[in-house]
Amino acid sequence: MNSIRELLAAAAQLPADTATDAPLLLAHTLDKDRSWLYAWPEHCPAPEQLEHYQALLRRRLHGEPLAYLTGHKEFWSLQLRVTPDTLIPRPETELLVETALALPVKSTRAQVLDLGTGSGAIALALASERPGWQLTATDISKKALALAAQNAAQHSIHNICFVCSPWFQGLEADLRCHIILSNPPYVAEDDPHLQQDGLPHEPISALTAGADGLQDLRTIIGNAPGFLQPGGWLLVEHGMDQGTAVRQLFGLAGFRRIETRQDLEYRDRITLGCYSR
């Protein structure tokens, strides 16, 4: 009774999201990978493992995101620890990393700033790809920064300096970057999407930004020129319906070569621009 085969068959009857994630929760409980389950279908987990798995399954059924239950999420091939103190890194944010890596930045020791780093996903991905770059990663949340620093240590990444700061406020006034990038909160406060897809379990401060969702983007875009080298780049992630408004903000702040790019689902997802005084 309660062999892996039976547990998986029972889980397949659950609502779709939970049914899909059940094997991952079982593998996580047993501290194995998913393929192990299919190699040992007759194995019967110990009673306390069974209890733990069922508790996780119940939490998943109530909408808690998988990443908070397992405590990790993969981003840019890096296994990152995540907690409810930070947003769960999204695959579409990899576009920000990919675009930053393709910029015409000549310096091999470029200064790069990631604003609102959360779990550290963006800064860690860039730091791992460009060990010569000097990264600064900020967050207003001390808990988020501690987690990001832990993720950096886990991956033996040493070229990131973590600063507790609301956007630019806590930074050295003479910092001049080749690239500034951010995945800030950009959801409107009354967006019904906030009630779905596990978002109620994520930190609201990492998701919403004023009535139109643009409050933090305005602060970032408006202040970025003061922290950029001549010819430096700003890249921000935003909502799929914010492309026009964000390009306008870049224009007002004096950026050139302003461009919005789409994610793999053809939704406007990031905007970038170059600043030259």
Q: Which positions touch ligand GLN (CB under 6 A)? A: 90, 183, 185-187, 193, 207
Give the residue with the Cβ less far from ligand GLN, 18 or 182.
182
106, 79 contact by CB (below 8 A):
no
Quote the DSSP letter at residue 187.
B
Give the residue with the Cβ less far from ligand GLN, 134 or 219.
219
Give the residue with the Cβ less far from ligand GLN, 103 or 187.
187
Measure the CA–CA gap between 231 and 181, rounded to whole angstroms. 15
Least distance to ligand GLN, CB of residue 141, Å? 14
Least distance to ligand GLN, CB of residue 102, Å? 22
Give the residue with the Cβ less far from ligand GLN, 256 or 267.
267
Least distance to ligand GLN, CB of residue 210, Å? 12
Give the residue with the Cβ less far from ligand GLN, 111 or 182.
182
Two tokens, residue 214: 């643009």
Give the residue with the Cβ less far from ligand GLN, 42 or 190.
190
Structure-derived torsion over alpha carbons of residues 102, 105, 107, 109, reported in degrees to the nearest 10:
-60
* 82 CB-contact burial (10 Å; exposed 0-12 / middle 13-18 / buried 19+): buried
129, 101 contact by CB (below 8 A):
yes
247, 260 contact by CB (below 8 A):
yes
Separation in Å, CA 211 to CA 175, 206, 208: 31, 15, 8
Output phi, psi for 271, to 5 deg: -130, 140
Least distance to ligand GLN, CB of residue 72, Å? 19
Dihedral class, residue 152 (left if φ above 0, else alpha if ψ from -120 to 50, else beta) = alpha
Measure the CA–CA gap between 6 and 36, rounded to whole angstroms. 15
